[in-house]
Chain A
Amino acid sequence: MIPLSETLSQGRELVVEIERRSGQKVADCYQCGTCSSTCAAADAFDYPPHVFMRLLQLGVVDRALTSTTGQLCYDCMTCSSRCPISIDVADVIETTKNIADEQGIRESERGLRLFRNLFLKNVRRHGRLHEASLLAWFNLKSGKLTNDMSLVPLILHRKKVRIIQPRIKNRAQVRRIFQRAKERPKW
């Protein structure tokens, strides 16, 4: 049961913030479901995109902030390109996720967090991504040691692998970029 008198007043501030940052009007959504109907990841989300929008409309922000929708949506923008109200749904979801990160809400999708962290760590250190390292570290840290192992013979056979970590010369500048992003995450 959603106590609307509470959620609409308490959730208002956050929704206004989401609208401001994303530039989208959450109230305009009329829940047609077009966004969800062709979303490639909708079945993996706990809330399909249109339900996610509805949660925001009703001020039920805590569910939106902790949802897997925010974590798993990777911004393919299929929803945004088809919305009949021209709402950038992906942006709303992404903005909510960013706010969740800022609030320090712990992600339930550990694999994804791990993937992103390892990726960026590799890039920060070397300036470019080493795919083989990423796979190796990911498997190690996630405990899924045999993950994607079926692909390895294929990759080796087709010589689609780079064994050595690529490094750029001006790694210092890349490190500076990351440092700056950490100190001043917002423009």
Chain B
Amino acid sequence: MRIGVFVCQCGTNIAATVSTERVASAAMALRDVVHAESIQYTCSDPGQRTVIAAAHKYALDRVVIAACSPRMHETTFQRTMAQAGINPFMMEMVNIREHCSWIHSDMEVATEKAIDLVSMGVAKVRGQTPLFSSHVPVVGEVLIIGGGVAGIQAALDIADAGMPVTLVEKGPTIGGNMARLDKTFPTLDCSSCILTPRMVEVKHHENIRLMVNSEVEQVRGYIGNFEVDIRKKTTCVDEKKCTGCQICEQKCPSKAPDEFNAGVGETKAISIAFPQAVPLVAVLRKEHCRLFIKGKCGICKKVCPADAVDYEQEDELHTEKFGAIVVATGYELFDWRQAYPHYGGGLYPDVITSMQYERMLSASGPTGGRIQRPSDGAEPKEIVFLSCVGSRDESIGRPLCCKVGCMYIAKQAILTREHIPGSRTYVFYMDIRAGGKGYDEFCRRAQKEAGAVYLRGRVGKIYPRDGKLVVMGADTLVGENVEVEADLVVLATGIDAAAGAGSLAQKLNIPYDQYGFLSESHPKLRPVETTTGGIFLAGACQGSKDIPETVAQASAAAAKVIVLLSHDELETSPMIAEVNHMRCIGCFKCREVCPYHAIEEQGLRDGRRVAVVIESLCQGCGLCNVACPPSVISLRGYTDNQLIEEVTEVLR
């Protein structure tokens, strides 16, 4: 046995607290170690070349690299080993950075500890045997959850690459929140105009299967081989027959809340969300429908010229296989009413949210593009915008910044001046966050051209008086309180992940934060990957962001998916479980605990039935290893003997 030990300095990250020279010389004194040295940056090109050169020079057959966490560079050094002509798994990485130099300050103590850790690594690697990866076939289909602009972009990119995509959308149409916007900052592009062509492309793309009114119920499997149950909910309308003529909507007698229009105005129990919906198919909501509540109606079925209404229609359950999943479930606005009683808590009709205002601005919206006060329908002249309602507010447990508020308020201020030339807008802000291209100029435009009065300060109270709303705020720049008598108040409310994001994350086994935003696997370097292999994130579901960032992220996620599925097979890690058939008693406790269904029963020639690991499915989690009563299962790369040697070494 010829072991080489390489102790990384990692610049000063390790070397400042651990004397790597001493660790290397202590390692030299260990049995079977024929070479030990300290390297400045082992992961770098020269560092790796040093390792390879030493491997050749000293004819090493196994290596210990004492450096950072294996999560950082285990793969890097496995490749180095391969380049040196040594089995990649004959390498043990010892963490003397996160586990040692970064948590201690006493050099003496840290160095002693590093020496111990390295000797443990050497003890472990002595018991290592060469391991060889196997391969598992990859399902070449992709699931995208969420049909907003992120889902649409990712779907188009992946489908254009020739891979079949299933796009699942909870609501009746794709388009998401972007379809509800009037214009977008900073270009003032008409949102629908730039989005709808993409939506139509999705509908007609030969590689995209669109499933609306559908939700993911269960996800099983793992990277390259997911099995997903999707429930397509009944809408009482046959998608293939409906022509989108909307006669049913016109004739329907049951009113229903209009979610698409953020509650501004009402719609009918059977309706199409908006004129450019994709697919352009009516949807019946049973909870608002007279027929289903009282048992009397049926008008829509009678008037439908395409005979598309079917009250007997049931949910459909589909189970499909996918190689990769992209989550693009988007965002929703935080419900401010409970948290801000000093703004009326929802009691004053003329205090509305930014999305409600946006729907009023839209020419295809519920007011036909006319801005009007909800209370009396009059056109407002003095309009006040409040930033950060439900953001940057620790007192209600929401310290986060919504990121897009400053920009969309500026946009709405500019559009307000266009819609109502004689109007005056006031914007109460704490800071202006306008970091993108042309963003700051856009905010200045709101002030310079649109004449918006920007007041630096928050608002303490809003109350109604003589048909107007008195806004009591502060202008901290002049150092005094200010008061505005407003006709309309628009609140820039905080942004959360879409409802149900948390429970979807649980189904996918990915972490999420208190606002429901799904966690990326590394905040800097892996923005679209999650800790679960094969599942990617795109758009606002990962954190509030604007459209350019969303589209960029969607394409990034698509690229990752394409990379993953560009091979027919995936290399699987060989660090998997192995059953000693000679001693297996056939109790199958291992099969009970295995989350990947990777244990099967096999008959041996002597008649015994024993457990056998299906190598392509095993993920090496080690549960079977622990559950096995006679301890006959071991984990390759982490055998019981290796671990016992490690512990013995440190107890010496």
Contact = CB atoms under 8 A, between A and B. Distances in A.
Given A48-B480, A48-B481, A51-B479, A34 B394 contact: no
Interface residues of A, number: 21
Contacts of A47: 479
Interface stretch (A56-64, A83-91, A100-108, A162-170): A83-91
Contacts of B476: 31-33, 36, 50-51
B342 A43 contact: no
B338 interface: no
A37 B479 contact: no
Interface in A29-88: 30-39, 42-43, 47-48, 50-51, 82-86
B349 interface: no
Interface string B167-206: 0000000000000000000000000000000000000000
Interface string B264-301: 00000000000000000000000000000000000000
Interface in B474-490: 474-476, 479-481
Given A43-B481, A48-B481, A33 B393 contact: no
Nearest to A84: B393
A82 B343 CA distance: 12
B395 A37 contact: no
B458 A84 contact: yes
Contact of B479 (A32, A35, A48, A82): A48
A82 B394 CA distance: 11
A37 B481 contact: yes
Contact of B395 (A33, A51, A86): A86
B507 interface: no
Nearest to B429: A32
B473 interface: yes
A38 B394 contact: no
Contacts of B430: 30, 32
A87 to B, nearest CB: 9
Nearest to A49: B474
Contacts of A43: 481
A78 to B, nearest CB: 8
B162 interface: no
A82 B472 CA distance: 13
A86 B342 contact: no
A11 B110 CA distance: 40
A42 B474 CA distance: 11
Given A37-B474, A42-B481, A50-B474, A32 B395 contact: no
B481 A82 contact: no
Interface of B: 342, 392-396, 430, 456-461, 472-476, 479-481
Given A37-B457, A37-B460, A84-B458, 15 more contacts: A32-B430, A33-B457, A34-B459, A35-B460, A36-B457, A36-B460, A37-B481, A38-B460, A47-B479, A48-B481, A50-B476, A84-B393, A85-B394, A85-B395, A86-B394
13 contacts: A31-B476, A33-B456, A33-B458, A33-B474, A33-B476, A36-B476, A36-B481, A37-B457, A37-B459, A39-B481, A48-B480, A84-B393, A84-B458
Interface of A: 30-39, 42-43, 47-48, 50-51, 82-86
The 9 A-B residue pairs whose C-beta atoms are closest, nearest first, are: A33-B474, A37-B460, A33-B457, A38-B460, A32-B458, A84-B393, A37-B474, A33-B476, A34-B458
